[in-house]
Amino acid sequence: MEITEKDVDGVAILSFSGSLDALTSPEATDYLEACISNGKNQIVADLAAVDFISSAGLRVVLTAMKQTRLAGGDFRLAALPDGVHKVIAMAGFTSILKIYDDAESASSSFRK
């Protein structure tokens, strides 16, 4: 798994690639926690290049959501591949998460 980060008007856009499973999720959690503790609480996770997510990856998402919201921000998802979307939907996360078609609309959603 790799994470690349860019900043668009104060919104951190994190592009994940590879798999978010029990092997990689600790690294993803560490990365997100570092972001949030550095004051970035408006985060978009661009998952277009994520080929696999398991329940371990969902824990990363849930933790990031709770932490950003506690800090007054939000954690939003963009560009979910079919498999990833199915897992998010099975867990019922679609009702508590904001999901966008692409990273651009996700980041601009913070300005509305």
Partner 1 sequence: MVNSYKMTRAAELEALPIFRDFLDSVCKEHGIGSEFRYDLKLAMDEACTNIITHGYAGMNPGSIMMEVQFQPSHIRLSITDFGLAFEPVETAAPDVNALLEDRVASGFGLYFIYQTMDEVEYRTTVDCNMLTLVKRRHAPDAA
Residues forming contacts to partner 1 in the complex (CB under 8 A) are: 19, 21-23, 52, 54-56, 58-59, 62-63, 65-66, 69, 82-83, 86-87, 90-92, 95-96
Q: How far apart are CA 33 and CA 86, in angstroms?
A: 26
Q: How far is CA 49 from the centre of its chain?
A: 12
| Residue nearer to partner 1 on the CB measure, 31 or 52 | 52
| Residue nearer to partner 1 on the CB measure, 81 or 110 | 81
| Residue nearer to partner 1 on the CB measure, 31 or 59 | 59
DSSP string, 12-77: EEEEEEEEESTTTHHHHHHHHHHHHHTT--EEEEEEEEEEEE-HHHHHHHHHHHHHHHHTT-EEEE
| Residue nearer to partner 1 on the CB measure, 7 or 51 | 51
CB atoms within 10 A of CB 112: 4
